[in-house]
Amino acid sequence: MMDQHKTVLHAQNIRKSYGSRGNVQQVLKGIDLRVLEGEFVGIMGASGAGKTTLLNVLATIDRTTEGSILIGDSDISKMKDRELSEFRRDKLGFIFQDYNLLDTLTVKENILLPVSLGKMKKRVAEDHFKSIADILGIKELADKYPHEISGGQKQRTSAARALINKPSMVFADEPTGALDSKSASSLLGTLEDVNKQRGVTIMMVTHDPVASSYCSRVVFLKDGNIYSELYRGDKTRQAFFQEILKVQGVLGGDSVDAL
């Protein structure tokens, strides 16, 4: 069924190493990954497995040492910094673990930030804002400052900011990492809705099996390589969750991290 959709992201043989000569540490050791339109991909793995590095590389925040990445039709591994910035602004959305909202801006101002330099008309932007704020349930918070709202609300604001420019892909780095379980499941439910109803492609790094059970596919990393993949298919979330736990058990070493 998925094959009918077109590829949004295609990464081939991605390698990433840090350090200089004599002390090189390879974090990603040749990863191939294809993400289709409308997918909700979870990336799991123990600490140091390379989850965040992979996300940063795919999200154009960091550069690969080797390999090519296509997002849509663009080969981002060949782009210059300037083009990359513009690409991020126009095509990608980001949700971070610690929200990364600007303290000096209100919720609405924060959300509208990514479209502030684009060509989007004010009226259109206003409409976008209304519909997204509606879905995320933060319409009433529009004029509040980040310090006046809860963590869950902050993360919803951050999610709304990621969606405002209708990105081809949203990258989320541990979005529930700083939330209590109730806020976390509420946010994940919303992300799932956005994914299903609006067809937004999402890639999420997490080490929480509960969080990844909301995904349509979970990719497991181990020591810089893809260890295995799980598709949710038509399974219930509960069943999918059990499967994830099993793989995680085999993968080992994550028990400490999962706490």
Is residue 148 within 8 A of residue 195, CB to CB? The reply is: no
> Which one of 27, 31, 57, 108 is in contact with other proteins (CB under 8 A)?
108
Number of residues this chain uses to bind other proteins (CB under 8 A): 38
- Angular region, 89: left φ>0, alpha ψ -120 to 50, beta rest: alpha
Closer CB to other proteins, 2 or 117, in the complex: 117
> Which one of 8, 44, 92, 202 is in contact with other proteins (CB under 8 A)?
92
**Under rule CB under 8 A, residue 88 binds other proteins:** yes
Of 17, 32, 3, give the one whose Cα is nearest residue 221.
32
Is residue 40 within 8 A of residue 216, CB to CB? The reply is: yes
Closer CB to other proteins, 88 or 232, in the complex: 88
x/- mask, other proteins, residues 20-59, rule CB under 8 A, reads ----------------------------------------
What contacts 214, CB < 8 A, 6 or more positions away?
40, 42, 188, 189, 191, 192, 237
Q: How far is the CB of 119 from other proteins (least distance, A)?
A: 13
Alpha-carbon span 174 to 151, nearest angstrom: 14
Residue 226, strand partner residues: 221
**Under rule CB under 8 A, residue 119 binds other proteins:** no
Structure tokens at 138: 């933060």
**Under rule CB under 8 A, residue 126 binds other proteins:** yes
CA distances from 252 to 220, 233, 239 (A): 12, 25, 20
**Under rule CB under 8 A, residue 149 binds other proteins:** no
Q: How far is the CB of 84 from other proteins (least distance, A)?
A: 8
Applying CB under 8 A, which residues contact other proteins? 61, 81-82, 84-90, 92, 94, 96, 100-106, 108-109, 111-114, 116-117, 122, 125-126, 129, 142-143, 145, 147-148, 161
